[in-house]
Structure 1
Amino acid sequence: MDLRLDELSVVTDGRTLVRALSLEVAEGQVVGLVGPNGSGKSTALRCVYRALRPSSGTVWLGEQDLTRLPLRHSARTVAAMTQDGGVDFDFTVEEVVALGRAPHLRGNQALSGRERELCERAMDQLDIGHLAQRGVLTLSGGERQRVLLARALVQEPKILVLDEPTNHLDVRHQVDLLSLLRGSGLTVLVVLHDLNLAAAACDRLGVLSQGRLVASGAPAEVLTTQLVGDVFGVRASVVPHPLTGDPQLLYSLNSTC
C-alpha cells in the first residue's frame, strides 16, 4: 500500500510547523525524512499515525483518506515507532512485543499459536529473544529501541512509520535494523538524522527546512554539498561509497557555513 501526504499543513498556537507538505511513499519503498531539528519531521509523522490532526491537507493510505478510517482499521494498517513511545511499567519484553497484536484482538482475547510464533520471530529478528523475560525498565536504551520495533512489526502493518529508530543503537544494530527495513517489503517512512545512514537505507529522501519540503529525490540527487550547506549550515564533501556507490558525506569539524 502506498502512502501520500497531500498539501499537509500543521499550525499550532499561531506557528506553522509543517507547510503544504506533499510527499509520496510508493508501496514497498523506504523514504527518509531528513532536516535540522525543528524542521517539522516528527510533526509530519504524527499526522500519519494519528497522534495529530493536520490543520489542512490529507494523508492518503492508498485511495483512502486516513481521517475517514475507523481507528482500529488504521491501527492495523499503520504501525509507528516514535521517540516518545517508551513503556512506563515494567512489563517483560515478551509482553511489550505482544502489545503489537492489540489492534487485531477483542478485549482480553488471548494470543493464538500463530501470534505467539509471530512475536518470537520478531524478537529473534531484532536480536532480543534472549531478553524475553526481562523487564523493559532494566534494558539499555538501544535494547528498548529494538523491543519497540519488534512490537511494531508484530502488528503486521502495511505501512511502517519510524521516528529516529537508530537512536541509542550501536553500529551493528543500526546496520541490522536498517537492513531489516530494506528487506521488509513494507512501505516505510522514517526520520533519520544520520545522512550517511539515510543515503544507504532509503530509496528516496525528503529534506525539510522550517516546515517546508526543499528537496526530494534519490539520495544521490538530494545530498549535494550545496544543499547540505544551505539546509544544515555545515560544509561537507560528498563522495561515493567504495562498495555501494551511495553518497557519503565527509564533514570538517571546524567548517561551518
Structure 2
Amino acid sequence: MDLALDRLTVVTDGRSLVRELSLDVPSGQVVGLVGPNGSGKSTALRCVYRALRPSSGAVRVGPDDLAGLSPRRSAQLVAALTQDGTVDLDFTVEEVVALGRAPHLRGAQALSPRERELCAQVLDRLGLTPLAGRGILGLSGGERQRVLVARALVQEPEILVLDEPTNHLDVRHQIELLSFLRGAGLTVLVVLHDLNLAAAACDRLAVLGEGRLVTAGTPAEVLTPELVQEVFGVRADVVTHPLTGDPQVLYALTTSSADRTAGPAPSTDRTAGPAPSLTP
C-alpha cells in the first residue's frame, strides 16, 4: 500500500515544525527520513501514526485520507515504533507481543490458533523465543526494543513507521533488523540518524532541514559531500562500500564550528613538520 505525505504542515506555538512536506513512499519500499536534530523527522512520523494532527495537508494511505479512517482501521493499516515506546507494566514478552493483535480483536476476544502461531513466528524471527516468559521490565534496552518491534510486526500492518528503531541495539541486531525490513515486503517509513545504515537499508532517502524537504532520491543520488556539508554542517567524503556497492560516508572530525567552512584537513604525515600547538 502506498503512503503519501501531501503538503504536510505542523505549526506549534507559532513555530513551524514541518513545512509543506510532500513525500511519496511507494508500496513495498523502504524510505528513510534523515536530517539533523530538529529538522522535523519525528514530527512528520507522528502525523503518520496519528499521534499528532497536522495543521494543514494530509497523510494518505492508498486512496484514503488517514484522518477520515476510524482509529481501529488506522491501526490495522499502520503500525509504529516510536522513540518513547515504553511498557509500564511488567507483562511477559509474549504478552506484550500479543498486544499487537489488539486492532484486530473485539473486547476480550482470545487469540486464534493462527494468531498464536504468528506471535511465535515473530518471536523466533527476532530471536526472542528464549525470553518469551520473562517480564519485559527486566530486559535490557536492546531486548526491550526488539520486543516492541515484534509487537508492531504482529499487528500485520500494510505500513510500518519506525523512529530510530536501532536505538539500544548492538551492531548485529541493527543489521538483522534492517535486513529484515528490507525483505518484509511492507511499506516502511523510517527515521535513522546513521547515514551509513540508512544507505544500506533504504531504497530511497528523504533529507529534511528546518522542516522542509531538501532533496529525495536513491542513497547514491542523495548522499554527496556537498549535501552532508550543507545539511549537517560537517566535512565528509563518500565512498562505495566494497561488498554492497552502497554509498558510505566518511566523516572528518573538526575541533570548532569554524572548521566546518575550512579547507581540507591538515596532513597527518609526521614528516610534514610539527603539529600546531593546542595552547593559545
Is this a same-fold pair by TM over 0.5? yes
| Partner in structure 1 of residue 214 of structure 2 | 214
CA distance in 2, matches of 1:70, 1:239: 46
Query: Could you report, residue by residue, the CA deviation over 1:209-249 in whole angstroms, capped at 9, with x for unpaired residues?
Result: 11010010000000000000111111111000001110001
SS of the equivalent of 1:79 reads strand
RMSD: 0.7
1:141 corresponds to: 141
Deviations 1:58-91 (A, max 9, x none): 1000110000011101100000000111101111
Q: Report the CA distance between 1:253 and its aligned residue.
A: 1.8
Describe the superposition over 1:8-52 as per-residue Cα deviations: whole angstroms up to 9, x where unpaired: 000001010000000000000000000001110000000000000
Paired position in structure 1 for 2:3:
3
Question: Which residue does the alignment assign to 1:126?
Answer: 126
Identity between Structure 1 and Structure 2 (%): 76
1:99-152 deviations in whole A, cap 9, x for unaligned?
Answer: 000000000111111111111111111111110011111111110110000000
- Correspondence 1:167 to 2:170: no
Please give the secondary structure, in 1, of the residue aligned with 2:17.
strand
Aligned to 1:82: 82
Letter in 2 for 1:200: A
Distance 2:251 2:140 in 1: 29
Once the two structures are overlaid, the 10-residue window that deviates more, 37-46 or 245-254, is 245-254
Counterpart Cα distance in 1 of 2:242 and 2:138: 40
1:178 aligns with 2:167: no
Aligned pairs for 1:1-257 (under 5 A) are 1-254=1-254, 256-257=259-260
Instruction: Letter of the 1:18 partner, please give it.
Output: V
In structure 2, how many angstroms separate the alpha carbons of the residues matched to 1:169 and 1:19? 32
- Residue 254 (structure 1) shift: 2.5
Task: Structure 1: give runs of 5+ residues left out of the alignment.
Answer: none
Q: Which moved more, 1:243-252 or 1:194-203?
A: 243-252
Please tell me the residue identity of whatever aligns with 2:160.
L
User: After superposition, what is the alpha-carbon deviation per residue over 1:155-186, rounded to whole angstroms, capped at 9, x for unaligned?
Assistant: 00000000000001000000000000000000
- Match of 1:72, SS state, is helix
- Distance in 2 between residues matched to 1:9 and 1:229, nearest whole Å: 26
Q: TM-score, normalised by structure 1?
A: 0.99
Whole-angstrom distance in 2 between the partners of 1:176 and 1:127: 10
1:137 is aligned with what amino acid?
A: L
How many Å separate the matches in 1 of 2:126 and 2:84?
20
1:61 partner letter = V
Cα distance in 2, alignment partners of residues 200 and 4 from structure 1: 23
CA distance in 2, matches of 1:3, 1:176: 25
Structure 2 counterpart SS, 1:198: helix
Letter in 2 for 1:173: H
